[in-house]
Structure 1
Amino acid sequence: MSKTKLLMVGNGMAGVRTIEEILDRDPDRFDITIIGKEPYPNYNRIMLSNILQNKMTVEETIMNPYEWYEARHIRLITGDKVVKIDREAQQVETEQGQVVDYDQMIIATGSDAFILPIDGSRLEGVVGFRTIDDTEKMLEVAKTKKKAIVIGGGLLGLECARGLVEQGMDVTVVHLAEWLMEVQLDRRAGELLKKDLEKQGLRFELQANTQEIIGDKQVEGIRLSDGRVLDADMVVMAVGIRPVTKEARAAGLDIGRGIIVDDFMQTSDPKIYAVGECAEHRSKVYGLVAPLYEQGKVLADHITGRPTEGYQGSTTFTSLKVSGCDLFSAGRITENDDIRGIEMFNGIDNIYKKVFVQDHAIVGAVLYGDTEEGNRFYNMMKKGETIDDYTLVSILHKAGEVDAMNVAEMDDDETICGCNGVSKGKIVSAIQEQGLTSVAEVTSVTKAGNSCGKCKGQIAELLEHTLGDGFVANAPTGICACTDLSRDQIVTQIRAKGLKTSKEVRHVLDFKNKGGCPKCRPALNYYLNMVYPTEHEDEKASRFANERYHANIQKDGTFSVIPQMRGGVTDADQLIRLGEVAKQYDVPLVKVTGSQRIGLYGVNKEDLPAVWEALGMRSASAYAKKTRSVKSCVGKEFCRFGTQYTTRLGIRLEATFEYIDTPHKFKMGVSGCPRSCVESGVKDFGVIGVENGFQIYVGGNGGTTVEVAEHLTTVPTEDDVIKLCGAYMQYYRETANYAERTAPWLRRLGFDQVKAVVLDPEKQQELYDRIMIAKAAVEQEPWHDIVKNERKQKIFEVEKV
């Protein structure tokens, strides 16, 4: 029996969670295709502000990596947008001309950031705050510019503004209302929030209406309605969102503010559903994650034939992800003839609590400074519990109580994770039935804590209450949720037990998930390659996509081709070939890279083998956790300040250590004099030529957090540099955690410890000998083999629809 073709239009949090719910109920029912306009797998949009605040990386926001889709046989199309829905033919057409059929379709196109329709809104430097690309634009501007204005003092605007302060910018928030977050907070809470944020460096213009954005091509400032001008290098619009309904409207579906759906998330076409921020249910559009996930569960029940009462709407809550500002808001927070408030303010500690009551039941709550009781109030609201049994003197504590209700006293049906709708009972059952012992494991199994993360403290309390002495809050965590074993414990067991494959490691060491996860699979493959360089057969399926394709995936789904140019040296023949290939394959960008190479950007996946064959050049490892390029200046050969032949040494270093796997990328630089034109002082291994030899620097890197390398030693000859580099790299390979750069590794082990090991003559020789064994075993330049092997070219084929 053929499967039903299910098409998901949208690859965001609501859509992918709905697919997860469907697969949980009936994994074999549908042949699933997902189309997303962004060039990424599903990521946690809630955590974008954490990237700005230097708390997370882009990679850490990914909720469903590419491997997740592959493992579930989901066809994923990224970097492409549905532009036409043909309901009669039951197919959609994308911007890039792909046509996809469906039997049933779910629209989860979400929302776009609302950009104020004022003069100047299209200037360079005006951005929304909605996507990874928006976030990366802001980070890029923050590197060179200083003044930012955020228009909008709501939740998103404040998180963004605080992040830009963290990036070193001078930030002013311009807000139309009398106080911040006026939809979620009352006046007093809004004023407390403003004072705390001002202490953190933010400035505010309240009751301020932006009339115009000023500038020629680039933003220079804004003009307010009172005539004042505020200077700015960047303007961030955080004034709301607008449901994406254009294609649904053109297809003739019923549209209000969003795509109108019934209680089963079904649109006016019974074959089409809508879920998330683009859907309008009972005249309401939701923009918070908890109701969107509730909608996904109902839709999954209905589409798989399970009984469901349907979606009845949601009670929503809000919390702010800014350190030093704890707030919680839920429900209706405006007093009137029917709704009255019970208020407590502690002016000494700046703690404010107010609950809103109608007919003896809580209908809303605002907490600032102490939010521990937020979940309790939220659960009382959801259950319609009256306040009759509570004393009102200390904000709804039962008579005789001193502290807030702890998790032990909560009923099993009370919600712990509001974002994902996970109850105390579900978490306790998972802990007891599946032997969970850490917050990470609970999150992996139940999804509690997987969105905003505010409930992780209560999850830890539940673990402690459920397990008693079996839970140690500060116990070292494992390399992933599949195991409690640390990196050192795993490597020790690999050596001691002679484990030779990742599968063997997971079974013998009793991983909870015997199939592994996207975090442990590449890590185990690396550790096995490191321990058994000549015996372990590389598990290519465990590698990240860039390493499987031997190319970097770009934001639009195309790839970059970076040929090797050791020492940044090329010749006329190579340049001619690069130009000819770029013309032949209509390459949109040919660029000199920051690593002294020439890259072809925008190459289609299916063209990669042919492009490499036409080039006839070796690949640089510009895409992998390996030895990267070795930058070098012209040195003594041409420069009048040069003291050493640095180009020659750079070429030797790259040739000696190329293609060797490392825990993370490993960059090197060789400068001919202390002027250090190639920035050797911010490289993992930096060399600076001086009159009496070569100064060696280690543990540096550029990036969002610049790390200055430390001076290790000075050696007299090129051979000494090569040997010391090999010893240092091998010690890093043998002792670092997978995905750990040399800077944090050096801090963790201690500079003096590393120095003592790699400068000890006997240990240095042993380490160098081991890395030479690894070099001899490593797979050489991959494309030379791929272009001659049709079987290996299969992964580059693209299905034509």
Structure 2
Amino acid sequence: MLKQKPRLVVIGNGMAGIRCLEEILKLDPDRFEIAVIGDERRPNYNRIMLSKVLQGSASLEDIVLNPYEWYREHGIALHTGERAVRIHAGACREVETASGMRLPWDRLIVATGSSAFVPPIPGTDKKGVISFRNLEDCNAMIRASEAGGRAAVIGGGLLGLEAARGLLNLGMETEVVHNAPFLMNRQLDETAAKLLRRELENQGMRFRMGAHTESITGPGRARGLLFSDGTRMRADLVVLAVGIKPNTELAAASGIRSSRGILVDDELETNLPGVYAIGECAEHRGIAYGLVAPLFEQAKVLARRLCEAPTEPYRGSILYAQLKVSGVDVFSAGEIRESEADVAQRWEDGIRGVYRKVTMKEGRIVGAILYGDTAESGTLLKQIRQEAFVSALPSGSGGQGGAREAAAALPEGERICACGDVSKAEIVQAVMRDGLTTADQVKQATGASGSCGGCRPMVAALVEYAKSGGAAAAAPAEEPEEEAVCGCVPFGRSGLKSAAKAAGRSLPANIGAAGANAAVLREIRLVPEKNWEGGCGVCRPAVLYYLFGHAETEVGDEEKDNRRGRRGTAVRVAAPAYSSAAAVEAGAIGRRWSERWEKIVLPGPVEAAVSAGPDYPAGVPVRDIGLRRCPAGWEFYAGGHAEHPVRQGELIGIMDNAEDAAAIGDALLQLYREEAFYDEPLWEWFGRIGLRTVREVLLDRTLREELALRFERESKGVAMSGAEPRFEDFGSFPEKAEKSLESASN
């Protein structure tokens, strides 16, 4: 008798809940019996593209993300036109709907989204007053525009400007009413806002700034607005676009704690066990996100959590915004107020209508505004997330090197489209392979820019970059064929690693080390005339390492001698005899590294050093891993070698505190374990992949924390205990870093 699968119910058929299902289906498609409840009578569609529908550049068919066939193909029970009214979380776990349907659940995701915020203005209930939030609102505005006349849009933020642009396209005279002194005042500074207003006025839009609406006038139907200063304006249609309100009514009726949104922890779980919340309805660490990128990040974390895959907790997202109005390119991210941060760089070209400002705090990049040319947006967003030092910014005229130059400078594994998870390499390969010539063709082929459209300028730049031959010129020269590692197999180091991992994926989950080693070597061996008994002392430990992260099981005494020194590392600590703060921290880091690192098997021997300061030499610059106290924090070095050939270590970065300094050491060691060849010293591996690649990984907080978490699990024996779990199953290296590493390695 087949065991019944756990029942997963998703309340909400929007972008956050369905993205989580997509991630679950990638990880473990047969794990759950899935049901979805949606109050709209439609399949999942892209709300971000509603402005495109209003502007006439997209239809309903264009914005549908998952048609009905997708649900059927994946065995998902979709209940449209249903509204959940109560969650029962006691002995009987069920979701009750307004129609009386009851759906049992073992795991429940609340993704009810948000509604348009209706300001407390008299007259908002009159005919001719519409909120701009869903497809029905969109259709109502289109119908209202058929009579022509004047439209007033209350709200000069992202949504208001996109609605106004759509109404202009529909032939209505349109005026935006905003209570702040300049447009998009939460995302832009006054300089960028003036440039934006000038461009939109040239398109036919009108503005009333600093205006406070007292009431919506008209007997039963909206005919205009009355302002607090006594002035009036005529309007046949009033559109409310002043923000959103998380939908928490279901949570309130079901005993789930809420504030502005449904309260969730770092695992995205509510106070009811087994009930999770993501998307615009959720509130995490005091923030309810209303943008798509944080929603997708939450979906990815929760999917891995539900599939019991290794994952970091959700610690919040960097807010960024991009305006989706034709003819206007605007990007804003992080802390952009000069009251919040200092200006690192500011550059303006009044003739071209291009503006750029980057802000910093304590020497690190914390925010950016781009107007007119947003090709740098992906790079700057990454630097903000990494808390990169200001020295990483390009010098010169504000760093404006042109879109094509910005495209060329991006690493191959750089994620260009965050919504669709599409990298630079994928876009360039599609252009060169299929002869694509436009960003629209790339969207059709890869999905890049198909959701929010914020990455479209960089997609277009990459198309030009690839068409110009720059990608081919930048491609690394083909390396000569590697010499075979031994007489048992025809592969060099990289070939053996790839072949072993590929063969290992087809092995039964419960196979032991000896059986796996023999099975893999049988599959990849291509030298049949060799007298072969399961490999030799060269290839056998390498295969075991690639499969399980160790090379000691089923290895003879002679081979164990060859392995001596691989388990653990030598960590030297240099500090003053008296107990200064630096000495105490250096000693603590040294003990932590020694205790953790001695339990881990490595591809090759590693030497590390920790110094309490420049007065206490420990050979930090010529160690595989070196850490030294400095006035700004802890300098972290890697790739040094004290013997022939002597190699000076490279400065990876400066960590603010001892905890981060210790953790980045764990992360580097895990990166080395996962990416190096067996028997490759750390300094040699570092030189092969390069400083840039290591920095891109370790200075990305998310990637660094994922590596450190996997290292901690393995150092505690989680990964090496039980039925010989596969090395690659401990948490495969994140795709965007893996592609960059593979590019550097090949």
Give the TM-score normalised by the residue count of structure 1. Answer: 0.55
1:48 aligns with 2:50: yes
Gap regions ≥5 residues in structure 2: 473-746
1:770 match: none
CA contact (8 A) 2:404 2:461 kept: no
1:205 and 1:244 map into 2 onto residues whose CA distance is: 31
2:150 and 2:363 map into 1 onto residues whose CA distance is: 49
2:24 and 2:452 map into 1 onto residues whose CA distance is: 23
Question: How far did 1:175 drift?
Answer: 0.5
> What is the count of residue pairs matched by the alignment?
468
SS in 2 for 1:354: strand
2:398 and 2:450 map into 1 onto residues whose CA distance is: 30
2:176 and 2:63 map into 1 onto residues whose CA distance is: 26
Among residues 9, 12, 15, which one is paired with 1:10 in the alignment? 12
Distance 1:455 1:205, change over 3 A: same
1:102 aligns with 2:100: no
CA RMSD of aligned residues (A): 2.6
TM alignment of 1:655-674, pairs within 5 A: none
2:666 match: none
- Supply the AA of the counterpart residue of 1:329: S
Distance 1:167 1:236, change over 3 A: same
2:310 match: 307
Question: How far did 1:140 drift?
Answer: 0.2
Question: How far did 1:177 drift?
Answer: 0.5
Deviations 1:643-667 (A, max 9, x none): xxxxxxxxxxxxxxxxxxxxxxxxx
Question: How far did 1:315 drift?
Answer: 1.3
1:90 and 1:431 map into 2 onto residues whose CA distance is: 50
SS in 1 for 2:391: coil
Distance 1:445 1:248, change over 3 A: farther
- Supply the AA of the counterpart residue of 1:452: C
Deviations 1:757-797 (A, max 9, x none): xxxxxxxxxxxxxxxxxxxxxxxxxxxxxxxxxxxxxxxxx
SS in 1 for 2:304: helix
CA contact (8 A) 1:436 1:442 kept: no
2:40 match: 38
Distance 1:170 1:465, change over 3 A: closer
2:410 and 2:116 map into 1 onto residues whose CA distance is: 39
Distance 1:109 1:393, change over 3 A: same
1:129 aligns with 2:132: yes
- Supply the AA of the counterpart residue of 2:17: G
2:271 match: 268
1:193 aligns with 2:188: no
1:147 aligns with 2:150: yes
Gap regions ≥5 residues in structure 1: 473-801
TM alignment of 1:95-244, pairs within 5 A: 95-244=98-247
- Supply the AA of the counterpart residue of 2:334: G
2:537 match: none
SS in 2 for 1:406: helix
Question: How far did 1:402 drift?
Answer: 7.3
- Supply the AA of the counterpart residue of 2:266: D
1:62 and 1:462 map into 2 onto residues whose CA distance is: 26
Deviations 1:680-738 (A, max 9, x none): xxxxxxxxxxxxxxxxxxxxxxxxxxxxxxxxxxxxxxxxxxxxxxxxxxxxxxxxxxx
1:453 aligns with 2:453: yes
CA contact (8 A) 2:180 2:210 kept: yes
1:405 and 1:372 map into 2 onto residues whose CA distance is: 9
Among residues 233, 255, 259, which one is paired with 2:258 in the alignment? 255
1:316 match: 319
Distance 1:445 1:324, change over 3 A: closer
1:333 aligns with 2:336: yes
Deviations 1:443-502 (A, max 9, x none): 578643231223245346556767987999xxxxxxxxxxxxxxxxxxxxxxxxxxxxxx
1:736 match: none
CA contact (8 A) 2:150 2:174 kept: yes
Deviations 1:502-557 (A, max 9, x none): xxxxxxxxxxxxxxxxxxxxxxxxxxxxxxxxxxxxxxxxxxxxxxxxxxxxxxxx
1:424 aligns with 2:427: no
Distance 1:372 1:389, change over 3 A: closer
Among residues 370, 373, 376, which one is paired with 2:376 in the alignment? 373
Question: How far did 1:51 drift?
Answer: 1.2
TM alignment of 1:733-744, pairs within 5 A: none
SS in 2 for 1:219: coil
Question: How far did 1:418 drift?
Answer: 3.4
TM alignment of 1:625-664, pairs within 5 A: none
1:86 match: 88
SS in 2 for 1:318: strand
1:64 match: 66
Distance 1:151 1:376, change over 3 A: same
Distance 1:205 1:251, change over 3 A: same
1:280 and 1:7 map into 2 onto residues whose CA distance is: 20
1:60 and 1:157 map into 2 onto residues whose CA distance is: 22
- Supply the AA of the counterpart residue of 2:222: V
- Supply the AA of the counterpart residue of 1:458: M
CA contact (8 A) 1:387 1:396 kept: no
Distance 1:368 1:464, change over 3 A: closer
1:466 and 1:85 map into 2 onto residues whose CA distance is: 52
1:452 and 1:430 map into 2 onto residues whose CA distance is: 21
CA contact (8 A) 2:353 2:372 kept: yes
2:106 and 2:123 map into 1 onto residues whose CA distance is: 44
2:77 match: 75
TM alignment of 1:404-423, pairs within 5 A: 405-423=405-423
Deviations 1:246-288 (A, max 9, x none): 1112211121211111112111112111110001111111111
CA contact (8 A) 2:85 2:253 kept: no
Q: Which moved more, 1:105-114 or 1:250-259?
A: 250-259
CA contact (8 A) 2:404 2:464 kept: no
Distance 1:426 1:388, change over 3 A: same
CA contact (8 A) 2:127 2:221 kept: yes
Q: Which moved more, 1:436-445 or 1:275-284?
A: 436-445
TM alignment of 1:389-404, pairs within 5 A: 390=393, 392-396=395-399
Question: How far did 1:204 drift?
Answer: 0.9
Distance 1:436 1:66, change over 3 A: farther
CA contact (8 A) 2:38 2:82 kept: yes
Question: How far did 1:318 drift?
Answer: 1.2
1:388 match: 391
- Supply the AA of the counterpart residue of 2:368: A
2:35 and 2:324 map into 1 onto residues whose CA distance is: 34
Distance 1:468 1:71, change over 3 A: farther
1:595 match: none
Q: Which moved more, 1:404-413 or 1:200-209?
A: 404-413
1:314 and 1:451 map into 2 onto residues whose CA distance is: 18
- Supply the AA of the counterpart residue of 1:35: I
Question: How far did 1:336 drift?
Answer: 2.7
2:358 match: 355
SS in 2 for 1:67: helix
- Supply the AA of the counterpart residue of 1:261: V
2:157 and 2:456 map into 1 onto residues whose CA distance is: 24
Deviations 1:285-333 (A, max 9, x none): 1111011001000000000010111112111221111122211111111
- Supply the AA of the counterpart residue of 1:367: L
Deviations 1:399-425 (A, max 9, x none): xx6776433321245331234454435
Question: How far did 1:97 drift?
Answer: 2.0
CA contact (8 A) 1:290 1:421 kept: no
CA contact (8 A) 1:115 1:121 kept: yes
TM alignment of 1:677-688, pairs within 5 A: none
CA contact (8 A) 1:376 1:405 kept: no
Distance 1:424 1:391, change over 3 A: closer
Distance 1:339 1:72, change over 3 A: same
